[in-house]
Homo-oligomer: A and B are copies of this chain.
Amino acid sequence: MIGIGLIGYGYWGPNLLRNFWNNPHCDVKAVADARQERLSLVGKQYPAITLTTNAKDLLHNSDVDAVVIATPVQTHYALAKEALQNGKHVLIEKPMTANSAEARELMELADSKGLTLMVDHTFLYTGAVAKIHELVDSGTIGDLAYFDSTRINLGLFQPDVNVLWDLAPHDLSILLHIEKRMPRSVNATGISHTANGIENIAFMTVNYDHDFIAHFNCSWTSPVKVRQTLIGGKQKMVVYNDLEPSEKIRVYDTGYKHNSEEEKVKIMVEYRTGDVYIPKIDTQEALYKMTLDFAAAIMEGKAPMASAELGCRVVMLLEAAQQSINANGKEIKL
């Protein structure tokens, strides 16, 4: 049994706690939160769990083998570092850290200590993303040509991070999961409608050295909620609409090809349109599967799917996007 200590019982903490509680390989030993009223909620429902307002207590608790960090992003680095230094495995809420230098340092520390370091990119564990991954990996949709994601909503304005840091990690993690090659560069633009200058609308392009492009449209200021990603392959194209209750994935047997070598002068593109196919997808709770992967990574000493490497790359892309916005959309090499 892996003894689990959870730091942070805010919005996401209760979900993490419930799923680790149900995980047969884990035993939740302690929860830390600076707010006494949050701890009371834990105590009522889980009387056996040790409660503390001081995260340090938990980091030094010998019952705790693995620490789950669900606090604001600015605090991730220091908490994770201390946990790793104390020999604890670590799961960090996404985004992993406030900058990529911190992320890399944590990765090196975990490596040197032989500890598991993982980032909670829950979306990777959804049935929908598993299906997309399968379609890409099996070659069914052919070489990837583009990835175009829209995640807009009337969303809570965050006081400390912009809309990309808030919303794009989901889609960036999916991108990095299905296209393993490292991007070349990032461009981003955006606008802040508030006095603090934090962007509430932003657009991000991720450029690659091969024949592929990714784009992200994020907004806290849309009257309609859209969570849609188009994933174009040379053979087929996928539309992933996360708001559909069950039909989240549509596979279009749609493609195009060039006719001949003469195309360089005069392009003649031929389209093919065919059936549409809506695969049934697994509806098991993604967060639960994430906790299973964390436990398996610890027990078997292997990298989890939502690896620190992937989490670090997400931070690198967000960091580059922020730099690009600050430099009026200039391309930022990675």
Residue of B nearest to A264 (CB): B195
Question: Which of B198, B201, B239, B330 interacts with A223 by CB under 8 Å?
Answer: B239
Q: Is A179 an interface residue (CB 8 A)?
A: no
| Interface presence of A123 (CB below 8 A) | no
Contact A215 B213 (CB under 8 A): no
Within 8 Å of chain B (Cβ to Cβ): is A279? yes
Instruction: Please tell me if A28 contacts chain B, counting CB pairs below 8 Å.
Output: no
Instruction: Count contacts on A: residues with CB < 8 A to the other chain.
Output: 63
**A194 near B276: Cβ-Cβ < 8 Å:** no
Q: Is the CB of B280 within 8 A of A273?
A: yes
Q: Which B residues touch A265, using CB under 8 A?
A: 196
Closest to A332 in B: B329
Chain B residues in 8 Å Cβ range of A280 = 253, 273-276
A252 within 8 A of B: yes
Please report the C-alpha to C-alpha distance between residue A179 and residue B185 in the assembled complex, in whole angstroms: 32
Across the interface, which residues of B come within 8 angstroms of A146, CB to CB?
Answer: 191, 201, 219, 221
Overall SS of chain A's interface: strand
B221/A145 in contact, CB under 8 A: yes
Partner of A278, one of B189, B232, B267, B276: B276
What residues on B are CB-neighbors of A263 within 8 Å? 194-196
A-B pairs with the 4 shortest C-beta distances?
A223-B252, A187-B329, A276-B278, A223-B237
30 contacts between A and B (CB under 8 A): A145-B193, A145-B221, A150-B150, A156-B269, A157-B267, A157-B269, A185-B328, A187-B187, A187-B189, A189-B205, A191-B211, A194-B258, A194-B267, A194-B269, A195-B258, A196-B264, A196-B265, A205-B329, A215-B217, A221-B232, A223-B230, A223-B239, A223-B254, A224-B239, A247-B276, A273-B280, A275-B279, A278-B278, A329-B330, A330-B330
